[in-house]
A and B are shown apart, each in its own frame.
Chain A
Amino acid sequence: VPDVDVFGALANPVRRQVLEALRDGPLAAGELAGRFELSRPAVSEHLAVLRHAGLITEEPRGRHRYYHLAADPLAEVYDWLHPFERYWRSRLGALRDFAESADFAPEKAGSAPEKGAPAPEKAALAPEKSEEEPL
């Protein structure tokens, strides 16, 4: 399931409204265009994004195409805390790596081998190296 596209698709207010409109049943592209005072091409573009994300499905009926809400990706969005959990695990890992790194040896570390040596101040921070996530 392309969850990336689910969140990206939901980021747009018009697309969220389209989804809400489809909760009551399938609608044709033309009906959707009428509801949102948008040009047909603009609506088609939004529908394409939603379809690509697997949020809606398309059904040809005669000369028209109807759009249905697809349930599965939305269920995934309902479970929207899951990404946060992954996020925090990665942050905690980053904190551990940082705190345990040799460069981070604050004076209060307790296990400082030589008391006479000047304790490295917090300026002695490890330069960011392995920050793969720009968060």
Chain B
Amino acid sequence: LELRIRLTRDPIDTRALLAARPNLPDCGGFVTFEGIVRNNNHSKQVSHLEYEAYESLAIKELTVICQEVHNQFPIKHVQVIHRLGKLQVGDVALFIQCMGVHREEAFRATMSIIDLLKKSVPIWKKETYRDGHSSWIACDHGETRHA
């Protein structure tokens, strides 16, 4: 498995990432997902948001997730990039690429990585609304994968 994981404060250049598609001639399925900052959440108008991470543990956890997903869906290449810091509406917050022999494992792996990331990777999001209020968002981390 070719695995690339990165947290970055710089904008994610999706065009450059697509152009740098890995050369894996045995792979026919290449799935790219971009998570984009929306202008609304639970009927509130979002002005911007801020991501923060416990970076060392987030990288470790993402690595474990990608390995687990790889065990389930035999993909050949995974790339996960998550933005940190202040993001505006329309910015790419999350970028995932999975490449596999067939489309099925590439799609399923991509979905699984997002789902697991949202549940357990120590990354936090603070939304600021157009009315000036802000709040830390809690995803469902009810079903902890650990301890």
Q: Do A and B bind each other?
A: no
